[in-house]
Structure 1
Amino acid sequence: MKRESTLLTLLALVTAGLTMRPLLTSVSTLLPRLQSSMGVGNATASLLAAAPMVMMGAIACLAGGLLQRHSTRRILIAGLALLLTGTALRQWVGSGTTLLLTAALGGLGIGLVQMAMPGAIRQRFPSRSAAVTGLWSGALMGGGGLGAALTPWLAERLNTSLALSGWSALVLLALLLWLAVRLMEPARTESQQPRMRTALHRFPRAWSLALSFGLVNGTYASLIAWLPDSFMRYGWPAQASGALLALMIGAQVCGALILPLLGRGQDRRGLILMCLVLQGVGLSGFLFLPLTAPWLWAIAAGVGLGGAFPLALVLALDHLARPVHAARLVAFVQGVGFIIAGIMPFIAGQLRALTGSLHSAWALHLAIICGLMLLNLRFHPRSYHRAFPALADDAATTDNSCSGQTQESLCQQKTR
């Protein structure tokens, strides 16, 4: 691969990552202004963060079929085009309903890009996929921080509509870069895409992993949606509230890059519990001492959330030895998980409307974290094989069926 082509692909990857979260974080920092200028009600405000997450989950549930029918590059370009449309249309929205429609459209685009990007990374960087995936994750989270920090600043100097739709310029740049990138698509044959004989939804462990992933991301979604609003209710200006959210997301990037590297062996439970404890510290601070050390609470919650996200995905991958089975389990976990995550900011918004504050929402998430600690204690490596016995049998049957010199190289590739 030529050096120029590699650099172009990395630039396109990072730029696309930066576009994945401003759709969510830009709205949360301007929520009071949107409620007064567009008449955004409490229910609509709750859905502005929920709708994109639900769309991401719905797309992840369709991952297998879409990836078999369309090339990775085509899915990436389609996703960025949808995100560009949804973000640019915010220039002309005049009501909460139309703003919600742009959130759903953008969430659909984000879901497509997030679904296809791991495949693009494996195609272009097969020997450096872990490092490049970390770069992608860091860009994704960092983009959320930029959206939180810069949108209030843009709104003060331009206007609300331009501050929200201005992020379409970054999406357009990412789209143009990916139009210039060429990917070598692997051949799609039945031997390369073996079918599962047992559906994943039949396994309780698949649902447990999806629930854990979804509730962790639900805490992130609720903080993204409501943390700036909670501090604006304390009298903070929008830019300071956005900076607090940006700090939390910056800490999240650090947690995502550093904490997974601390693991030794296959037992992820210790690190996951550490992440959950840090989330609990942050939420406890926002609940009981919000104005005492808000920056500290934001850092603790961010590091915990950032570390939990990749660890939850690696935990799912660890359960199944065959790469194709593991990839489909991760798609299932993300599909169901993002739908669960999308529900949480809506619930938090309804609690805010009923009680007049977010204290009950933070208390709910603290209780969820305690439950997640108990749930994750069950994920001992010794339980992996017992959790998916039918899939282990499928793998053995498929591998043992390889015979003859014409299929020798294929068998070696499948069992590698």
Structure 2
Amino acid sequence: MTITRAHQPVVAPSVRTRTTLAHPTLLLVGIVLVALNMRACLAAISPMVGEVQRTFGLSATASGMITTVPVLFQGLGAPLTPRLTRRFGAERVVLGAVLLLGAGVLLRVLPSVAALYAGCMVIGVAIAILNVSMPGLVKREFPDRAATMTGVYSTTMLVGATLAAGVSVPLEKVLGGGWQASLGAWSLLAVVAAVAWLPQVLKSGQEKAAVAAAPAGRPVEGIWRSPLAWQISLFMGISSLLVYTLVAWMPTILVDHGMDRGKAGLVFAFFNLVQVAGAFLIPLAAGRMTRQRGLAVTMVALNAAGITVLLLAPVSGAWVAAAVLGVAQGGSLGLALAFIVLRSGSAAGAAQLGGMSQAVGYLVAAAGPVGAGALHQATGGWNLPLTLLLAFSGVAAVAGWGAGRNRTV
């Protein structure tokens, strides 16, 4: 396992033979539509959890697993993806994952508790495959604009999540089929994305000879022993833990401190909206830097500042906390994804690094909402969970400082 300076060429460049079907505009449209699916089906169920709980008579813990299971299976599915992409090609793997995601969305709304959780598992695996495949595709197709394109698709993911959370309840009323119709409708978005992605699959079949003549890079040996890879993985893991914990509990924290539920919902919506700006702007800034250490530490510091406001003045400082945390958490997500393409020397390396960092990241993140809820139940308050989030922020700052060096795995 060697670490090289990022500006040194470590592999032969990938070959990208454009055809009519593979026009860059079609590729961009395909990436955007795929990215819209990558968080929408997770966010869509959040406003519906209460109805799902009543339909099946679930306990509070069992209801919490509806959102935890997909995150857990994102971590479990991530390491499998680099092997799939090497065998079948990234384009085919992305198409298969989008179709699998649509199938998981439909499975989740069948009238069975077993189907509900099975659908959550399938959705988690499908998203894991997309999470890992996309950085490699971006690295290969946009080698000179990888950070910019990372900003585009990370922003699109959050836009999809924000729209899904906002329209799920109105969609339930429009369709008239209860929560099942509202959640099942998101499978149509997966079908649209699959159709838009088909030209890339056809293109990949036409490029086999060219790719064989000039491969896109060999896998990185010993990546799990790389300190740099672990630093990126820990930065992604703790950043994701902070995101998922606050997404799960921020409205409850505000309400428990006396805020009206309606106002808490508005603050939470604003928090999600600001994340979109952070997810777009921070990767753009990262792509213009040779080292991103200061940027990583700044994101962690903003996270810590927002958590501190929630700890000390949760109601009076709610809007400030939402603004600061929105920039920090959207920016941390975009920066973690940017690290995957900036710290790898090839598309194959990006897929491997993405597999490792997201396996570690989502397994760590899955513990956040459950752990915070358990600590709240044990202590009767939110001080201990929020204090622990501050402690984790310190670890993320150290990991981000290492991940931001001008090196590649």
Are 1:166 and 2:188 matched, yes or no? no
2:59 match: 41
Q: Structure 2: how far apart are the matches of 1:376 and 1:123?
A: 25
| 1:181-220 equivalence runs, <5 A | 181=200, 182-184=202-204, 185-186=207-208, 187-188=211-212, 192-196=216-220, 198-220=221-243
- Deviation digits for residues 54-90 of structure 1 (CA, Å, limit 9, x no counterpart): 2222232123211111122221121111111121233
Q: Match for 1:68 among 86, 96, 108?
A: 86
One-letter amino acid of the counterpart of residue 245, structure 2 = S
Q: Structure 2: how far apart are the matches of 1:261 and 1:132?
A: 9
Q: Return closer, same or farther for 1:135/1:236 CA change in 2, 3 Å cut-off.
A: same
CA contact (8 A) 2:106 2:184 kept: yes
| 1:329-348 equivalence runs, <5 A | 329-348=353-372
Identical pairs, percent: 26
Please tell me whether Structure 1 or Structure 2 has the larger radius of gyration of its CA atoms.
1
Q: Match for 1:132 among 145, 149, 158?
A: 149
CA contact (8 A) 2:303 2:325 kept: yes
Q: TM-score, normalised on structure 1?
A: 0.79
Q: 1:209 Cα shift?
A: 2.7
Q: Return closer, same or farther for 1:45/1:288 CA change in 2, 3 Å cut-off.
A: farther
Are 1:277 and 2:301 matched, yes or no? yes
One-letter amino acid of the counterpart of residue 203, structure 2 = L
Q: Return closer, same or farther for 1:36/1:136 CA change in 2, 3 Å cut-off.
A: same
CA contact (8 A) 2:135 2:350 kept: no
One-letter amino acid of the counterpart of residue 275, structure 2 = Q
Are 1:267 and 2:286 matched, yes or no? no
Q: 1:192 Cα shift?
A: 4.6
Q: Structure 1: how far apart are the matches of 2:251 and 2:385?
A: 14
Q: Structure 1: how far apart are the matches of 2:335 and 2:87?
A: 30
Deviates more, 1:319-328 or 1:158-167: 319-328
Q: Structure 2: how far apart are the matches of 1:190 and 1:122?
A: 16
One-letter amino acid of the counterpart of residue 101, structure 1 = A
CA contact (8 A) 1:29 1:241 kept: no
Q: Return closer, same or farther for 1:356/1:164 CA change in 2, 3 Å cut-off.
A: farther
CA contact (8 A) 1:86 1:105 kept: yes
Are 1:310 and 2:334 matched, yes or no? yes
CA contact (8 A) 2:139 2:347 kept: no
Q: 1:254 Cα shift?
A: 0.9
One-letter amino acid of the counterpart of residue 180, structure 2 = S
Deviates more, 1:224-233 or 1:335-344: 224-233
Specify every segment of 5 or more residues in structure 1 that has no aligned partner in the other structure, as ranges. 389-416
Q: Structure 2: how far apart are the matches of 1:183 and 1:363?
A: 51
CA contact (8 A) 2:38 2:157 kept: yes
- Deviation digits for residues 12-69 of structure 1 (CA, Å, limit 9, x no counterpart): 3212211111222223233344434433323323332332222222232123211111
Q: Return closer, same or farther for 1:180/1:297 CA change in 2, 3 Å cut-off.
A: same
Q: Match for 1:224 among 247, 254, 258?
A: 247
One-letter amino acid of the counterpart of residue 252, structure 1 = Q
Q: Structure 2: how far apart are the matches of 1:316 and 1:124?
A: 15
Q: Structure 1: how far apart are the matches of 2:341 and 2:298?
A: 20
Specify every segment of 5 or more residues in structure 2 that has no aligned partner in the other structure, as ranges. 1-18
Q: Return closer, same or farther for 1:156/1:360 CA change in 2, 3 Å cut-off.
A: farther
Q: Structure 1: how far apart are the matches of 2:404 and 2:284?
A: 19
- Deviation digits for residues 264-316 of structure 1 (CA, Å, limit 9, x no counterpart): 64332211111112212222233332322433322211110121223234445
Q: TM-score, normalised on structure 2?
A: 0.80
Q: Structure 2: how far apart are the matches of 1:34 and 1:134?
A: 34
Q: Structure 2: how far apart are the matches of 1:270 and 1:161?
A: 46
2:30 match: 12
Q: Return closer, same or farther for 1:265/1:171 CA change in 2, 3 Å cut-off.
A: closer
Q: Structure 2: how far apart are the matches of 1:307 and 1:150?
A: 25
Q: Structure 2: how far apart are the matches of 1:98 and 1:349?
A: 25
- Deviation digits for residues 248-267 of structure 1 (CA, Å, limit 9, x no counterpart): 23212211221233456433
Alignment partner of 2:290: what SS?
coil
2:405 match: 381
Q: Match for 1:92 among 110, 129, 152?
A: 110
